[in-house]
């Protein structure tokens, strides 16, 4: 995997949208063995590419880079002000009966077990996820859902779905062993993005169908 060219969905003078494979870091980690990441691969092609947001290592999907400090700042502001529409696809354990819903549970880092996060109704930061059922698979007892993270907390989708009793299949951090073992990867994919262009504000939309 090391040194592979990034899969680029969109490139212009102000931003880059790349497709992150599951199992690859978004940015470098600590240690020589954690230097290969999507940002390094993109910067090897476009040296001015700067990180705007991140995806968990196990998550695949669309990732945005700003070209230069000003584009990065404007894109970061759009994310912070919730001007970016993000949709994920996940496969979760069990059958979710309702067609749509939302999970409004505050989250905080689980300090003794970091980087794990947990629900904390007293000290947690407000966190909201909307979901919509796309289908059920009776044979595997799973539900395919579209997820909209209204807030952007670390591990938000994974912890919220666990909290309502439907952990994401393949989740090595939060799912019970039997649910984790049902897939060789985390079945979570950042499938679509709509955001204002940092130069002129026009809304750009990108879609990368889930590979599972």
Which among 119, 108, 206 has a CA at the least distance from the CA of 160?
Answer: 119
The number of beta carbons lying within 10 Å of the beta carbon of residue 3 is 8
**Cα three-residue angle 188-109-118, rounded to 5 degrees:** 65
Residues 85/193, Cβ–Cβ less than 8 Å: yes
User: Catalytic site residues?
Assistant: 56
Q: What's the CA gap between 89 and 43, in Å, rounded?
A: 27
């Amino acid at each position: 995997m090391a040194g592979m060219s990034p899969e680029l969905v969109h490139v212009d003078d102000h931003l880059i949208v790349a497709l992150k494979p599951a199992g690859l870091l978004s940015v470098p980690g600590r240690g020589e063995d954690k230097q290969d990441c999507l940002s390094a691969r993109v910067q090897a092609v476009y040296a001015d590419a700067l990180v705007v947001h991140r995806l968990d290592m196990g998550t695949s999907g669309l990732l945005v880079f700003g070209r230069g400090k000003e584009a990065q700042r404007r894109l970061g502001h759009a994310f912070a002000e919730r001007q970016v529409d993000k949709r994920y696809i996940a496969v979760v354990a069990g059958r979710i009966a309702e067609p749509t819903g939302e999970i409004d549970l505050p989250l905080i880092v689980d300090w003794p077990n970091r980087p794990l996060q947990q629900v904390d109704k007293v000290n947690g930061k407000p966190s909201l996820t909307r979901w919509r059922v796309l289908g059920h698979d009776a044979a595997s007892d799973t539900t395919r859902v579209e997820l909209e993270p209204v807030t952007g907390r670390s591990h938000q989708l994974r912890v919220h779905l666990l909290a309502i009793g439907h952990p994401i299949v393949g989740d090595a951090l939060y799912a019970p062993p039997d649910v984790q073992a049902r897939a060789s990867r985390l079945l979570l994919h950042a499938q679509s993005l709509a955001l204002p262009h940092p130069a002129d504000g026009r809304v750009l939309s990108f879609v990368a169908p889930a590979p599972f």
